[in-house]
Structure 1
Amino acid sequence: MQRGNHIHSTLALLILLVIAGGCQPNTDPAPDDTAYFPLQTGDYWIYQVTQENYSLTGGATTTAYQVQEKIGSSFTRSGQVFFQVEESTRTSEKGNWQINAIRTVFKSLSEVVSQENNVPTRSLVFPISTNTSWNSNTYNALPDSLPLRYENISRPFAVNKLAFDHAVSVVGPSDSTLIGLTKYQRVYALSVGLVYRENTALAYCQSTPDCIGKGVIASGSRQKWALLSSNRLP
Structure 2
Amino acid sequence: MLLSILTLAACNNDERIPLAAGEQFVPLEVGLYYDYQIDEILYTNDIVVLDTTYYLREEVVESFINAQDSVYVIYQYTKANLVDDWSYFDTWQARINNQQLIVTEGNTPFVKLTFPIFAGKIWDGNSQNQLEEDNYQLDSLYFPYTINDQQFESTITVVQNDNEDFIVEQDRRYEVYALNVGLIYKEELLYSYCTDDNCLGQQQIQSGVFRTQSLIDYGKN
Q: Tell me the TM-score normalized by structure 1.
A: 0.77
2:112 matches 1:123? yes
Q: Is the 8 A contact 1:135 1:144 kept in 2?
A: no
Map of 1:6-25 to 2, 5 A cutoff?
none
Q: State the AA in 1 paired with 2:212.
A: K
Q: Which of 176, 179, 188 does residue 164 from structure 2 map onto?
A: 176
2:49 matches 1:83? no
2:141 matches 1:158? no
Cα distance in structure 1, aligned partners of 2:102 and 2:46: 40
Partner of 1:12: none
CA deviation vs aligned residue, 1:101-158 (integer Å, no higher than 9, x gap): 1122122222111235554321110111224211122223x13331001111111111
Q: What secondary structure is seen at the aligned counterpart in 2 of 1:74?
A: strand
Which is worse superposed, 46-55 or 123-132?
Answer: 123-132
Cα distance in structure 1, aligned partners of 2:147 and 2:195: 34
Q: What secondary structure is seen at the aligned counterpart in 2 of 1:35?
A: helix
CA deviation vs aligned residue, 1:185-206 (integer Å, no higher than 9, x gap): 0000010000000111112344
Q: State the AA in 2 paired with 1:165.
A: E
Q: State the AA in 1 paired with 2:89.
A: N
Which is worse superposed, 119-128 or 60-69?
Answer: 119-128
Q: What secondary structure is seen at the aligned counterpart in 2 of 1:172?
A: strand
Count of matched residue pairs: 200
2:190 matches 1:201? yes
For residues 105 and 177 of structure 1, do their structure 2 counterparts lie closer, same or farther at Cα, with a shift above 3 Å needed? closer
Shift of 1:216: 3.6
2:89 matches 1:104? no
Shift of 1:222: 1.0
Relative contact order: is structure 1 or structure 2 higher (C-alpha 8 Å, sep ≥ 6)? Answer: 2
For residues 80 and 150 of structure 1, do their structure 2 counterparts lie closer, same or farther at Cα, with a shift above 3 Å needed? closer
Q: Which of 6, 24, 28 does residue 39 from structure 1 map onto?
A: 28
Structure 1 unaligned residues grouped into runs of 5+: 1-30
Backbone CA RMSD of aligned residues:
2.2
State which structure, 1 or 2, has the greater radius of gyration over its C-alpha atoms. 1
For residues 214 and 163 of structure 1, do their structure 2 counterparts lie closer, same or farther at Cα, with a shift above 3 Å needed? farther
2:110 matches 1:113? no
Q: What secondary structure is seen at the aligned counterpart in 1 of 2:161?
A: coil
Cα distance in structure 1, aligned partners of 2:183 and 2:194: 34
**Greater helix share, structure number:** 1
Identity %: 23
Q: State the AA in 1 paired with 2:39.
A: T
Cα distance in structure 2, aligned partners of 1:57 and 1:33: 41
CA deviation vs aligned residue, 1:13-59 (integer Å, no higher than 9, x gap): xxxxxxxxxxxxxxxxxx94111111111000000001110112753
For residues 143 and 203 of structure 1, do their structure 2 counterparts lie closer, same or farther at Cα, with a shift above 3 Å needed? closer
Shift of 1:215: 3.4
**Greater strand share, structure number:** 2
Q: What secondary structure is seen at the aligned counterpart in 2 of 1:128?
A: coil
Q: State the AA in 2 paired with 1:146.
A: D
For residues 194 and 57 of structure 1, do their structure 2 counterparts lie closer, same or farther at Cα, with a shift above 3 Å needed? closer
Q: State the AA in 2 paired with 1:102.
A: T
